[in-house]
Structure 1
Amino acid sequence: MLSHFIFYIGLLFTLVFVYKVVYIIVAFKARRSKDSNEKEAPLRKYAFLIPARNEELVIGQLIESIKNQNYPKELYDIFVIADNCTDNTAQFAREAGAIVAERFNDKLVGKGYALKHILNIIEMNYSSKNYDGYFVFDADNLLDENYIHEMNKTFNQGYRVITSYRNSKNYDQNWITSGYALWFLYEAEFLNRPRMFLKTSCAVSGTGFLVNANVFKENGGWVHHLLTEDIEFTVAQIIKGEKIGYCSSAVFYDEQPSTFSQSWKQRLRWAKGFYQVFIKYGKELSYGMFRGKGNRFSCFDMMMTVLPVVIVSMLCLIGNMLILLLVSFEGKGLFQTYLIGGTLGILWIYGLLFALGLITTIMEWDKIRCPSWKKILYLFTFPLFLFTYLPISIVALFKKIEWKPIPHTVVKSLDDLRQRS
């Protein structure tokens, strides 16, 4: 009975997620294909939106990387919203050359409210600028010097929302930072790249994305305030029929949490946010999967992005409760069977996750800013990092969670990153 239960659960997940294996195969083909749009793209006008809370250590490096872009300086502006800051973020951002607005509201906290505030200011005071699009970045990011140039090419292909290639500033710090970093590389090249190749919708992930000004006008500004405003924005746009693009040649660097305590709090918020998105948009996503308007697969894809956290958590809880009951009634033999089967199952999952990390590391080897021996070492800790999502997702089911900032302390320039090999 127990073996049948486990078998059918495994079969269910195999059928649901096998398409992501297909994504990996498609990604290899996509990497070999050449960009058919090589003609020079018209130069558009952009604004950078940077919410920042107590980011005096890193805000200057981000602004410098934006000012050093290989793109006409008169065609973009930098806006920093110093959100509930108690340090010198606003002063340092002004000195670095950004247009700065300060916001103090301890009731409505979070990145979404900061974005809403700065967009309102731009509408009131800078509407004559007529920006074509808005870049959204976190204060700890760094941009490759060709970032705007590359994103502009994809923007001119007709995509109104575009995400980019997310690399990391501190891959080599420890097993936690490398776990994040390797996952984001996989997400970029083995989820978003094949989606782009197959002409389905990609997904925005946290930071480093571009939004057409008309999208914000249609939405009424930034209206997404769940704990994971990025995935909420993605799902809401896909439900409306928007197709989000991906630019693999637009590279930026992100700082990852370096302690388990920071990581636990951040991923707890993410897990709770996914639950919130599922509850708010699950019905519309389900409808979109069957309505036949050209984005059915994208709705399915996003449903599988927000739904598994719920399913895995609940099945683990219910399954283990049933197993413990069976063990108590049927004795030691069943307990040994369960122990052996569980151990083999864990090893099997570890092997699959290791293979995922291995493929990503091999394909992105030259882009990972980390000594070679650490690239290999962190392959073995990558599955362990992902395993920790299980207790996090379970706790998130029951715990009330509020948005809290993660401190950023990795002060590096692009030159510093290029010295890593």
Structure 2
Amino acid sequence: MDSSIFTSIQSFNFLMFVLFTLLYSYRFVYMFIAFRMKGRKRSVEHGNKLNKYAVIIAARNEELVIGELIRSIKEQKYPEEYVDIFVVADNCTDQTVQVAKEGGAIVRERFNKTRIGKGYALDYIYKIIEKEYSFKNYDGYFVFDADNVLEENYIMEMNKTFNQGYRVITSYRNSKNFGQNWISAGYSLWFLHESEYLNLPRMTLNSSCAISGTGFLVSTDLIRDNGGWIHHLLTEDIEFSIDHIMKGEKIGYCKKAIFYDEQPVTLKQSWNQRLRWAKGFYQVFLRYGNNLTRQIFQGKGNRFSCYDMMMTIMPALLISCISMVVNTCFYLTAIILEKSEIATVTNQALFESFIGYYGLLCLIGLITTLTEWKNIHCSGPKKVSYVFTFPIFMFTYIPIAVVALFKKVSWKPISHTEVKALEDIR
């Protein structure tokens, strides 16, 4: 019996390792490509047409931070007459409307206690723009969260990529408060990794990228074809990405378009936000999983992009969690049966699994930190120390992923208080 339990432990852990490696091995290829791209200049021909844009900001009680975003848009090195700023004050009870108007934005208020979420706010303001400002003939819509701040060349660089023919473009996501604590640093490192080690290789391989909540541009034609913003799951960004990738759309990435956003700093805030993300990923998986799988095997030209998106929404952390749960069950069984040697083996397997995942995540954090060193705005010692806390931040996704399976989750606003201008961030 001891021998059979021991063999079962070994076989299960080996199977989980092989499964995880096979599913996500392409991500290591991504990292290799991204690493080789560092320092190289992409010689891409593009037109110099100046397109007209509407900037959309969905705000919920953002009186503290929205002013700096509007100011950074107004200070863009792009003709001001080609950019209009629209703010949808969504169920606001503070001075967001007044601050946005004083900054020079066109503001509309929305009050709806049943249709709650960013997707509904985007659809609301889009339809107002189409009805009242159609004469402006906007070529595209920028979407930002109220806590964002843009580098002065942001719109110009996005415009260059837009002129290459992409109808959806995401950008380089940096953070206003990287060095505040290990939680904000964990978020920040992941978003930097996502920008340069996921979206950059996708762009290099002529595959499709994915938008990430904020800091993206969408063609007016695409939104008009959809009849507005039609994606309303808890993670409307990944839902939007997958829906359009399955339709053959190729999402671009502009690494020279840099913006900053504020990351949560408390475990409670972070838990609530990532619980919504985890639940949203499950929603997207349930709604699009079958069609996405069909596209992987039967699609034309976008099979790999569909596979990539499947691996993005597939609950990888649950794979790790299942592994830990099964090993823990082996461990408890051994204790109940008073089989100390089996408990020792299981305990060792759990420890080795933890060390392996910790080391892998440390490597990802280290490579990202080293290559993006100049873009990370905090002290050198903090940059180094947060490499070692990055795996801990990622491990906290495991209980979040489990709770999200069973808990009803609704959209809740995240409080933003980090008031920084561009020069303060630098």
Decide: shared fold, TM above 0.5. yes
Decide whether aligned partners of structure 1 residues 270 and 351 sit closer, same or farther in structure 2, where only a CA change above 3 A counts.
same
Q: Does 1:406 align with 2:414?
A: yes
Query: Structure 1 residues 369, 283: closer, same or farther in 2, change over 3 A?
Result: same
What residue number does 1:306 align with? 313
Q: 1:370 aligns with which of 362, 371, 378?
A: 378
- Tell me the secondary structure at the aligned position of residue 85 of structure 1: coil
Distance 2:121 2:388 in 1: 38
Q: Give the counterpart of 1:69 among 76, 85, 98.
A: 76
- TM-superposed CA distance for 1:394, in Å, is 0.4
For 1:14-413, list aligned pairs within 5 A.
14-37=21-44, 41-309=48-316, 311-312=318-319, 315-316=322-323, 319-320=326-327, 322-324=329-331, 326-327=333-334, 328-329=336-337, 331-413=339-421
Q: 1:210 to 1:298 in 2, by over 3 A?
A: same
TM-score by length of 1: 0.97
Give 1:150 shift: 0.2
Q: Distance in 1 between matches of 2:16 and 2:94?
A: 51
Q: Label 1:39 to 1:2 Cα distance change in 2 as closer, same or farther (>3 A).
A: closer
Q: 1:364 to 1:310 in 2, by over 3 A?
A: closer
**Shift in Å, 1:221:** 0.5
Superposed displacement of residue 316, structure 1 = 4.0
User: CA separation in 2, counterparts of 1:131 and 1:148?
Assistant: 14
Aligned partners of 1:93, 1:343: CA distance in 2, in Å?
Answer: 52
Equivalent-residue separation in structure 2 for 1:86 and 1:114 (angstroms)? 16
Cα deviation, residue 324, structure 1: 4.6
CA distance in 2, matches of 1:383, 1:314: 15
Contact 2:53 / 2:142 at 8 angstroms: preserved in 1? yes
For residues 374 and 39 of structure 1, the distance between their equivalents in structure 2, rounded to whole angstroms, comes to: 40
Whole-Å Cα distance in 2 between the matches of residues 144 and 90 of structure 1? 24
Q: Are the structure 2 counterparts of residues 317 and 357 from structure 1 closer, same or farther at C-alpha, using a change threshold of 3 Å?
A: closer
3-state SS of the aligned residue for 1:54? coil
Where does residue 3 of structure 2 map in the other structure? none
Q: Distance in 2 between matches of 1:250 and 1:342?
A: 42
**Alpha-carbon shift at residue 70 of structure 1 (Å):** 0.2
Whether the 8 Å CA contact 1:271–1:309 is kept in 2: the answer is no
Deviation for aligned residue 1:347: 1.1
**What is the DSSP-based 3-state SS (H/G/I as helix, E as strand, rest coil) of the residue aligned with 1:79?**
strand
Alignment check: 8 A CA contact 1:275 1:310 kept: no
Partners of 1:171 and 1:245 in 2: how far apart?
26
What do residues 160-214 of structure 1 show as CA deviations (whole Å, max 9, x unaligned)?
Answer: 0000000000001000000000010000000000000000000111100000001
Question: Could you tell me which amino acid in structure 2 is paired with residue 170 of structure 1?
Answer: N
* Matches of 1:409 and 1:60, distance apart in 2: 12
Deviations 1:270-326 (A, max 9, x none): 000000000000011001101141000000000000013474277247624642564
Aligned 8 A contact 2:278 2:404 in 1: yes
CA distance in 1, matches of 2:74, 2:222: 26
Q: Is the 8 A contact 2:170 2:211 kept in 1?
A: yes
C-alpha RMSD over aligned residues: 1.4
What is the TM-score when the length of structure 2 is the normalising length?
0.96
Secondary structure in 2 matching 1:157: coil
The answer to whether the 8 Å contact 1:140/1:408 transfers is yes
By how many angstroms is 1:9 displaced?
Answer: 1.2
Q: Secondary structure at the match of 1:250?
A: strand
Q: Deviations over 1:18-72 (max 9, x none)?
A: 1000000011223344222255521100000000000000010000000000000
Q: Distance in 1 between matches of 2:233 and 2:327?
A: 31
Q: Which moved more, 1:275-284 or 1:340-349?
A: 340-349
Q: What SS is found at the alignment partner of 2:58?
A: strand
- Identity of counterpart residues, as a percentage? 60
User: Quick one: distance in 2 between partners of 1:55 and 1:109?
Assistant: 16
Alpha carbons 2:317, 2:398 under 8 Å: kept? no
User: Letter of the aligned partner of 1:350 in structure 2?
Assistant: Y
Equivalent position amino acid for 2:11 in 1 = H
Deviation at 1:395? Answer: 0.5
- Secondary structure class of the residue paired with 2:38: helix
